[in-house]
Structure 1
Amino acid sequence: MATNSSNPGPTEVKLVTIGPEQAGQRIDNYLLTRLKGAPRSLIYRILRKGEVRVNKGRIKAPYRLKAGDEVRIPPVRLGEKTVTTPAERVLRQVESAILYEDKRILILNKPSGLAVHGGSGVSYGVIEALRALRPDAPFLELVHRLDRDTSGCLVIAKKRSALRTLHELLRENRMNKYYIALVMGPWQGGAWRVEAPLKKNVLASGERIVRVDETGKAAASLFRPLAVNATASLVEVKLETGRTHQIRVHAAHQGHPIAGDEKYGDPKFNKQLREVGLKRLFLHAHRLVFAFDDDGPHIDVTAPLDTHLQTLLAKLNLEFHE
């Protein structure tokens, strides 16, 4: 990991012409992306004082940029900061994980242990690594997120229009997302559709946790057993909603917590699987199926399980065919 500390002075005034890929974005969000490291309070202050101009006129934070707009970005002192560059190993790991790419999107098989973005004590994630790999790319943004310990299909938009469309597909449940999970105990009764509302909570320690709660948001997951024995079961999970920690909480709620889950799992089961080699959460975003429009071709991408998880399944005598 390369770092360099600097104490930059104020930047010079910049005049930027907005292209089609930035069109539709709020000016405050655009400035947060453009002025890396600037706090929101600073962004709103320079907007309020009229230091930011669009087509030579004052604008407010909700203003949505249009193609051809000329934006004046004032000199901004961001103070002393440390710039962190993803390690070469991480860059190679992310580059080799790309499963699918076209002019609108990129789908990669996110490794377990790598965050999707920097923040909360993490210097960088997948999106920062991709931007470092492709410094000339005009637009790279996460379409959705995966927990740091979850591996598998992660979609990156290469155009703002694609990001808007994909967010619409997610809202309307028109992006089919399938996960593979190893859960505790023998699964019985075939496929289950779990409907249990979820509510985010913050513990006294500051830890974020999600619980089944009647006052929470509606959530639905379809579980289907793939391989079962007395110790554990391999299941496919189709998400019908996309709540935080949804699969992990729903699985635990049904009495089948996910292997390696330190937050919602079973300590005894986790210890048992560590002894046979499990070193991570066994949750993998296995497959994505969607189409950008009703008449367009389907994009159907599968992320293979890594060697570590395949080896563990073999030790447990659980067969899984990609």
Structure 2
Amino acid sequence: MKEIIIQENENNQRLDRFLKKYLNDAPTSFIYKMLRKKRIKLNSKKADPKDKIVTGDTIQLYLSEETIDSFKVKNTYVPQKKSKLNIVYEDGNLVLIHKEAGVLSQSSKKGETSLVDSFISYLYDKGEYDPSSERVFKPAICNRLDRNTIGLVIAAKNYNTLKGINEAIRLKNIDKYYKCLVKDELKSNLNLEDYIVKNKNENKSYVTNEKNEESKKIQTNVNILKSSSKFSLVEVELITGKSHQIRAHLSYINHPVVGDYKYGDEKVNKLFRQKFGLKHQYLFAYKLRFNNMPKGLEYLNGKEFVDNMDEKFINIENALFY
């Protein structure tokens, strides 16, 4: 019998989810079967997959060492080459990082480097992450930005922070604001409500005003900051956070983001590439505001964090509106 004592970074999660990470090569059906047969217990009692585990709880595995080893892929973390993090804010629980254009928030396949890889290496170098002492937790980012969108990304140093931030995002307790340059003049502020469908094969989202089985409701607030007859600089408040929401929604109302090669205007993009060297969308996740944060993160309530404007964006803004 092997006994596991739950640590701080494993606190307050469902038993089955912990076991899926601990026995990370075991079929889910095997884990549920062992729970039913009481070969896996919680605090020496029969356990339900949905039971919450907390720091200090014990899990008993009535399995052979050979079985446990066969279902447990060891953490073989090796620090990677990484770019230097541009840190906007840091405390004991989280880091707010400025993500550059062209950087993946999280890698989707082997061999790719990403912001989360750089973040993990950063904590490893500081001595704040020891993979050998962590059984299931790995530092992670909480909000993703598209590869060519720049701005603030929230990265969690521990499990409770990761869980708390993700819950706050789900409950819309973290206000997210973007600046973007769009084609043509906007006449008034907009509170947009429509539906979005993601085509995974094309990696592209489509907006419609009709609800269907595959669509999800989206809300996007657009406030004018500066405008001319040809372009508008706007602040976008993201109420819902679906894939490519801002880019697809603004394109749907015929005000595509400048520099957006998936949803934008080809002629406008070419003009800005030639005149300003802009090779990606003018979309900047520039501000975060925290509200009603959970226990342990209350100190963030009412705090607002603003990222520094990209120099290329400043030059474009000055050329268009001054």
- The alignment's TM-score, normalised by the length of structure 1, stands at 0.77
Q: Aligned residue for 1:208? A: 203
User: Aligned partners of 1:123 and 1:34: how far apart in 2?
Assistant: 25
Higher alpha-carbon deviation: 246-255 or 19-28: 19-28
Q: Aligned residue for 2:114? A: 125
Q: Secondary structure at the match of 1:317?
A: helix
- Residue ranges of structure 1 left out of the alignment (5+ in a row): 1-12
User: Aligned partners of 1:84 and 1:43: how far apart in 2?
Assistant: 26
Structure 2 counterpart of 1:115, which letter? L
> How much does 1:82 deviate?
9.9
Q: Aligned residue for 2:286? A: 286
Q: 2:98 matched to 1:109?
A: yes
Aligned residue pairs, count: 293
The verdict on how the C-alpha distance between 1:128 and 1:25 changes in structure 2, with shifts beyond 3 A counting, is: farther
Contact 1:115 1:122 (C-alpha < 8 Å) held by counterparts: no
Task: Give a deviation string over 1:21-42, Cα, whole Å, max 9, x none.
Answer: 311223454456557xx56xx3
> How much does 1:257 deviate?
0.6
Structure 2 counterpart of 1:307, which letter? E
User: Aligned partners of 1:58 and 1:124: how far apart in 2?
Assistant: 43
Higher alpha-carbon deviation: 221-230 or 68-77: 68-77
Q: Percent identity?
A: 26
Structure 2 counterpart of 1:288, which letter? L
Structure 1 counterpart of 2:28, which letter? Y
Q: Aligned residue for 2:11? A: 23
Task: Give a deviation string over 1:174-209, Cα, whole Å, max 9, x none.
Answer: 221110111112x2322111111112223xxx2222
Task: Give a deviation string over 1:200-239, Cα, whole Å, max 9, x none.
Answer: 223xxx2222111322222111111222234422111011
> How much does 1:252 deviate?
0.3
> How much does 1:78 deviate?
7.9
> How much does 1:85 deviate?
4.8
> How much does 1:271 deviate?
1.3
Contact 1:179 1:284 (C-alpha < 8 Å) held by counterparts: yes
Higher alpha-carbon deviation: 164-173 or 260-269: 164-173
> How much does 1:255 deviate?
0.6
User: Aligned partners of 2:224 and 2:204: how far apart in 1?
Assistant: 27
Q: Aligned residue for 1:246? A: 245
Q: Secondary structure at the match of 2:315?
A: helix
User: Aligned partners of 1:130 and 1:152: how far apart in 2?
Assistant: 15
Structure 1 counterpart of 2:151, which letter? G
Contact 2:116 2:141 (C-alpha < 8 Å) held by counterparts: yes
Q: Which has the higher helix share?
A: 2
The verdict on how the C-alpha distance between 1:77 and 1:253 changes in structure 2, with shifts beyond 3 A counting, is: same
The verdict on how the C-alpha distance between 1:16 and 1:98 changes in structure 2, with shifts beyond 3 A counting, is: farther
User: Aligned partners of 2:81 and 2:308: how far apart in 1?
Assistant: 24
Q: 2:303 matched to 1:299?
A: yes
- Cα RMSD (Å): 3.3
Contact 2:143 2:153 (C-alpha < 8 Å) held by counterparts: yes
> How much does 1:154 deviate?
1.1
- Residue ranges of structure 2 left out of the alignment (5+ in a row): none
- The alignment's TM-score, normalised by the length of structure 2, stands at 0.77
User: Aligned partners of 1:141 and 1:190: how far apart in 2?
Assistant: 39
Q: Aligned residue for 1:76? A: 70
> How much does 1:146 deviate?
1.5
Among residues 187, 190, 203, which one is paired with 1:189 in the alignment? Answer: 187
The verdict on how the C-alpha distance between 1:34 and 1:86 changes in structure 2, with shifts beyond 3 A counting, is: farther
Q: Secondary structure at the match of 2:321?
A: coil
